[in-house]
């Protein structure tokens, strides 16, 4: 009996029509919402007649919508993709990235979400060293008092921030927390523009960045935290910040955040 031949390389397994179909779907993004059949054919490097059957199939299955000679993403690809992204638990996505960041820096890393005016800690990558900052999962801390909490508040506009804090006495909290609503609104606007927050308190330093979803909305925050003695040496703070921002972008990307929208 003749044995089936094994393909010589990976290209022998590829399905050209499927490859082209997926390539067509990949052409659409936040900056390219509509393409003509001619534009699609040119990007694929084939004739319009060669691409027509692919477009017909994708349209029939609901992955594309056709308007005269132009195409856009259909409801099926959007609903399927968003359902998958929404179903992925943020802890599941963030965990390996935070563990890697902890290993690279030997500093504690935390993940939190916002519930009203509180930052709720969902995960910590424990730094197993004598000098470390480790906040237990489930801890709640007022958002305006922490680096992660302030990054979580960047999801709110000035009016929304005012509504959230209209019945909260900010002057009940110790320095360096903002003491008035106007001060808080100004601080959060600066945090949003900067894209990260550095916060010092109780002989420790934390640097935080936001996590964004496919729509660009801030849905969580992460931090690197450690004692001042570890964070103070010249240049190390900048190094840690860049590693943190890379980590936050990697997590956001897995949640569907698009690079075209800018860094998280």
Domains and CATH numbers, the chain: 10-77 (1.10.10.10), 87-261 (3.30.450.40)
The confidence band for 190, taking pLDDT boundaries of 50, 70 and 90, is very high
pLDDT in tens, 142-169: 999 999 999 999 999 999 999 999 888 8
**pTM of the full predicted structure?**
0.66
Cα separation, 196 vs 183, in Å, equals 18
pLDDT of residue 150: 96
Cα separation, 154 vs 83, in Å, equals 25
Residues 199-210 have a mean pLDDT of 87
Q: Is the pLDDT of residue 262 over 80?
A: no
C-alpha dihedral sign at 162, 167, 170, 173: negative
Q: Is the pLDDT of residue 10 over 60?
A: no
Closest to 148 in 3D by CA, of 95, 93, 211, 227: 211
Strand order across the 64-67 sheet: 35-36, 70-73, 64-67
Cα separation, 189 vs 172, in Å, equals 22
Q: How far is CA 225 from CA 69, 96, 99, 108, 121, in A?
A: 55, 17, 14, 5, 14
The confidence band for 4, taking pLDDT boundaries of 50, 70 and 90, is very low
pLDDT of residue 221: 97
């Amino acid at each position: 009996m003749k044995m089936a031949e094994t393909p010589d390389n990976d290209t022998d397994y590829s399905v050209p029509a499927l490859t082209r179909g997926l390539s067509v779907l990949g052409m659409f993004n936040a900056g390219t919402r509509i393409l003509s059949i001619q534009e699609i054919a040119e990007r694929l490097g084939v004739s319009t007649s060669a691409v027509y059957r692919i477009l017909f199939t994708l349209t029939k299955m609901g992955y594309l919508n056709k308007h005269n000679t132009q195409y856009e993403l259909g409801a099926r690809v959007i609903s399927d993709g968003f359902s998958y992204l929404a179903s992925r638990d943020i802890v599941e996505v963030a965990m390996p990235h935070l563990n890697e960041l902890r290993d690279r820096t030997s500093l504690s890393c935390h993940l939190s979400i916002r519930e009203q005016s509180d930052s709720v800690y969902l995960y910590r990558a424990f730094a197993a060293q004598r000098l470390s900052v480790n906040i237990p999962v489930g801890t709640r801390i007022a958002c305006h008092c922490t680096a992660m909490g302030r990054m979580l508040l960047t999801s709110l506009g000035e009016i929304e921030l005012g509504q959230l804090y209209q019945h909260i006495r900010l002057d009940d909290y110790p320095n360096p927390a903002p003491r008035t609503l106007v001060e808080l609104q100004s601080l959060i606007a600066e945090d949003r523009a900067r894209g990260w927050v550095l916060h010092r308190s109780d002989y420790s330093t934390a640097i935080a960045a936001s996590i964004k979803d496919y729509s660009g909305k801030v849905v969580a925050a992460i931090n690197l935290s450690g004692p001042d003695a570890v964070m103070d040496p010249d240049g190390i703070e900048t190094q840690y910040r860049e590693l943190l921002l890379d980590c936050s972008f990697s997590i956001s990307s897995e949640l569907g955040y698009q690079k075209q929208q800018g860094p998280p």
